[in-house]
Chains A and B, each alone.
Chain A
Amino acid sequence: SQTIHQWPATLVQPVGSPLSLECTVEGTSNPNLYWYRQAAGRGLQLLFYSVGIGQISSEVPQNLSASRPQDRQFILSSKKLLLSDSGFYLCAWSKGQGSYNEQFFGPGTRLTVL
C-alpha cells in the first residue's frame, strides 16, 4: 500500500530564516506530487505540482520554491520566511497515469513564523 510522509510535523521559525519541508511517498512509482497551503479557516491553496523529477509547476507567485530531486521526494523551500508564510502545509500525491485526479494527502506540517 502507498504511504506519504511529511516532516517535520511542526516548525517555528523566525522571520527571515530559511525553510525546508520534505515529503516522501512510498509504495508507488512516478507519482504526481503536490504542495498545498491551508490558512486558518480557509480551504487549501495549490502552491506547486510536479509530474516528474525536476519538473515543477507553480500556481501562485510567492516567497516559496519547490524541488523534486528524486521520483518520490518533494521539497518545499524558502530562502527568507515572511510572517505570511505561516500555515499548514500539505503534500499530496496522485497516480502518474490514471483516468482521474484522485489525490491523497500527507499528515501536514504546521509552520509558524514569528
Chain B
Amino acid sequence: QQQVKQSPQSLIVQKGGISIINCAYENTAFDYFPWYQQFPGKGPALLIAIRPDVSEKKEGRFTISFNKSAKQFSLHIMDSQPGDSATYFCAASTPMYSGGGADGLTFGKGTHLIIQP
C-alpha cells in the first residue's frame, strides 16, 4: 500500500518558470512532511519541510503548500534554474516516540525535473 502518492513522474519546465510537484497522503497520523532533492549518484538532501500546523512555508525560491483537509502538499520552485534539474521526493513521517525513536520516512516515488535553458 503506497501511503504517499507523488505526481508527476517527470516534469519539464523552461528556465525562469514555476515547477510544481504534488503529493497526497493517506495516513492522518503523519505530522512531518519533508522534500528531498537528489542528484544522480548522490544521496537525497533535505530541501524544505513543513508541519501540519501551517499552510505554507517558504525558503528562498522553494515553497511548500499544505492542505490538511485534502491531505495534500506540494512543492513550488519559483524562477526555476537549470541547476534545479534533479529528482525530487516528497516524504512523510509519524511523530517521534516519547522515548526518542521514530519510524522511517515514507517516500513518494519521485519526480524527475528537467529545467530547459
* A interface residues, Cβ below 8 angstroms from B: 6, 30, 32, 34, 36, 41-46, 49, 51, 59, 90, 92, 94, 96-108, 110
Alpha-carbon distance A102/B8, docked complex (angstroms): 25
| A97 & B100 in contact (Cβ 8 Å cutoff) | yes
Residues in chain A near residue B101, CB distance under 8 A:
32, 49, 51, 96
Q: What are 5 A-B pairs with beta-carbon distances under 8 A? A: A43-B110, A44-B105, A100-B95, A102-B49, A104-B46
Chain A min CB distance to B21 (Å): 13
Contact of A105 among B41, B45, B96, B109 (CB under 8 A): B45
Residues in chain A near residue B100, CB distance under 8 A:
30, 32, 51, 96-98
Alpha-carbon distance A99/B31, docked complex (angstroms): 10
Q: Tell yes or no: B60 within 8 A of A by CB.
A: no
| B104 & A36 in contact (Cβ 8 Å cutoff) | yes
CB-contacts of B65-117 with A (<8 A): 89, 93-97, 99-110
| A102 & B32 in contact (Cβ 8 Å cutoff) | yes
In the complex, residue of chain A having the shortest beta-carbon distance to the beta carbon of B30? A101
Residues in chain B near residue A36, CB distance under 8 A:
104
| B105 & A46 in contact (Cβ 8 Å cutoff) | yes
| B89 & A94 in contact (Cβ 8 Å cutoff) | no
Alpha-carbon distance A90/B38, docked complex (angstroms): 12
| B109 & A101 in contact (Cβ 8 Å cutoff) | no
Alpha-carbon distance A7/B46, docked complex (angstroms): 21
Contact of B43 among A41, A102, A107 (CB under 8 A): A107
Query: Given the interface contacts A36-B104, A43-B108, A44-B105, does A100 sit within 8 Å of B31 by beta carbon?
Result: yes
